[in-house]
Amino acid sequence: MALYAARWLNDRDAVLTEARDPTSSFFASLAPVATMIASVGLAPHWPGTAWVMALVGLVGVTLFAAWGAGTLWMGDRRFDATTPILYMPTVGGGFVAAITCATFGMKDLGLLYFGTGLLSWLTLESVVLNRMILRTLPVPLRASLGLHLAPPAVACVAYLAVTDGPPDRLAQILFGYALFQALVMVRLVPWLRMQPFSPAAWALPSVYRPFRLPRCA
């Protein structure tokens, strides 16, 4: 956040250009999502600070998701701008918010966010796959396919977080689809390596790595 603020002060035009770009603008949702992830990690150590961060993250991701979805609904979007980055505000934001709510004892609220993430993912999945099947992703955007792997994996973690007891059939279904997506990514490694290594590669190995599966009864 400090580095982003420094960019805003030193190169405001570039930041505004990114914010208006239909492909990169949704990356801004990482700010509240990262804040929630940090709050989950800090909760056992600094509960007061973590709670404030969680609240800020939840409000931020809710407002950004509503803004992003409204932007998509207005249409006139370029076909090439449809990439897995579309998952970030509603899908990634919804699932991470569900995990955050469960961490702070708000499982009922977490279920609302889980529903937002799940239904947004199911509707966007066909849109993103249609784009990738009909027109290949340009080399500079191929690392964003890591974001296509994330939804079923994070959905499984979020579902286990907002429910009780051992993993049920739905958890197994989500986990199975995540494994299949990982297998597809392995098949695509030669194609993905056409993109030179850059900071964008975070999307492939991360898949919200800080989260651990909750203990099951």
Q: Give me the tens of pLDDT residue by residue for the chain, a chain 217 residues long.
A: 777 778 878 888 877 777 777 777 787 888 899 999 999 999 999 999 999 999 999 999 999 999 988 888 888 888 878 888 889 899 999 999 999 999 999 999 999 999 999 999 999 999 999 888 888 888 877 877 888 888 999 999 999 999 998 889 999 999 999 999 999 988 988 888 876 666 555 555 544 444 444 444 3
Q: Return the pLDDT at 114.
A: 97
How far, in Å, CA of 154 to CA of 181, rounded? 13
**Cα–Cα distance for residue pair 55/26, rounded to 1 Å:** 21
Total number of residues shown for the chain:
217
CA distance 216 to 161: 10
List the beta strands (DSSP E) in 55-136: none
Sign of CA dihedral 162, 166, 170, 171: positive
- Tell me if 210 sits within 8 A of 157, measured CB to CB: no
Structure tokens at 49: 């600070």
Say what the pLDDT of residue 116 is.
95
pLDDT score for 208? 40
Q: 102 in helix, strand or coil?
A: helix
User: Which domains are present in the chain?
Assistant: 30-203 (1.50.10.150)
Compute the Cα dihedral for 132, 135, 141, 143 and give only its sign: positive
Record the pTM: 0.83
Instruction: Please identify which residue in the block is written with the tokens 């603020």.
Output: 5
Cβ atoms of 184 and 199 closer than 8 Å: no
CA torsion 174-176-177-183 (nearest 10°) is: 150
**What is the torsional sign of CA 174, 97, 211, 86?**
positive
Q: What is the pLDDT of residue 201?
A: 58
Rounded Cα–Cα distance for residues 164 and 185 (Å): 31
Measured CA to CA, the distance from residue 97 to residue 88 in angstroms comes to 12
Task: Say how many Å lie between the first and final Cα of the chain, rounded.
Answer: 38
- Cα angle value 180/65/90 (rounded, 5°): 15
Question: Residues 156, 171: contact at Cβ < 8 Å?
Answer: yes
